[in-house]
Amino acid sequence: MVSSATVDLLKDQLPLEHESVELSEDVAYGLVLVDIINGFCTVGAGPLAPAEPNEQISEMINEAEKLARSFCEKGWPVMAFIDCHHPDVPEHPYPPHCLAGSQQSNLVPALRWLEEEPNVTIRRKDCYDGFIGSIQEDGTNLFVNWVKTNNVTSLLVAGVCTDICVLDFVCSTMSAKTRGFLSPLEDVVVVSNACATFDFPVEVARTNKHGLAHPQELMHHMGLYMAKERGAKIAYGVSVAGS
Ligand SMILES: [Zn+2]
């Protein structure tokens, strides 16, 4: 376990201010859900799923579900990325995971209903970064088109892993926005308690030759901090006007 003194030291040296966000009817929001799927979030569902119940992951699912319900009640656009791999194409440094057609590569039970919602776009992706994973065979980008079609000006981002797929997506999105590819998008907001990462303590990693240490609290904080370094806003929770 990482000592709380270590976590405190990191948060002291890399302080992260959270903004409060209240959703307004006057703003065109979009919600991106990153990889909230069995293979990463459901206990025992595969090599990259939590082996036992995990508080940060449970809270992430609850918060993401709340956000998704608010969006669907209002008919606002939601895009859900789902990690999905061909068995012959590995994704280093991780073992085979979320193979096409497997239960690992489906939304968690709490979000499965999204598949039936008309305002939800589901994109299966075979790489970390949902922005890159949105590039289609004809060269168009499904995420870019989704932003433009829905005139999204404020994008909320939730899911896993804070420091991997969420961060990669945010980094690409911020660069594409700066280059003018995502007009009219103005804000990208990472909802911190609707994000989570996995726990692989250094003590365990040392006993595993493929193991790359990944202490959960530290990496979650680093992921949020690095997203903020790219210009994303970080919010702890989102309140919905009138609810
Ligand atoms: Zn993957």
Closest-CA residue to 98 (of 61, 74, 124, 72): 124
Q: Cα(89) to centroid of ligand 1, in Å? A: 10
Q: What pLDDT shows up at residue 210?
A: 67
Q: Cα(241) to centroid of ligand 1, in Å? A: 36
Q: Cα(126) to centroid of ligand 1, in Å? A: 6
What residue segments make up the domains of the chain, in order of their start?
18-240
104-118, 178-192, 195-209: least confident range: 195-209
User: pLDDT over 70 for what percent of the chain?
Assistant: 98
Q: Cα(69) to centroid of ligand 1, in Å? A: 26
Q: Cα(14) to centroid of ligand 1, in Å? A: 29
Q: Cα(37) to centroid of ligand 1, in Å? A: 11
The Cα–Cα gap between 68 and 76 comes to: 9
The Cα–Cα gap between 38 and 48 comes to: 9
Predicted confidence (pLDDT) at residue 65 exceeds the cutoff of 80: yes
Residue-wise pLDDT tens digits, 149-168: 999 999 999 999 999 999 99
Q: Cα(162) to centroid of ligand 1, in Å? A: 14
Residue 154, C-beta contacts closer than 8 angstroms, at least 6 positions apart: 27, 28, 29, 30, 185, 186, 187, 189
Q: Cα(223) to centroid of ligand 1, in Å? A: 17
Predicted confidence (pLDDT) at residue 222 exceeds the cutoff of 70: yes
86-95, 115-124, 133-142, 209-218: least confident range: 209-218
> What is the average pLDDT across 111-127?
98
Q: What pLDDT shows up at residue 204?
A: 85
Q: Cα(208) to centroid of ligand 1, in Å? A: 20
pLDDT band (50, 70, 90) for residue 66: very high
CA atoms within 13 A on the CB side of 141: 14
pTM: predicted TM-score of the whole model, two decimal places: 0.96
pLDDT band (50, 70, 90) for residue 75: very high
Superfamily of the domain at 18-240: Isochorismatase-like (3.40.50.850)
Predicted confidence (pLDDT) at residue 131 exceeds the cutoff of 60: yes
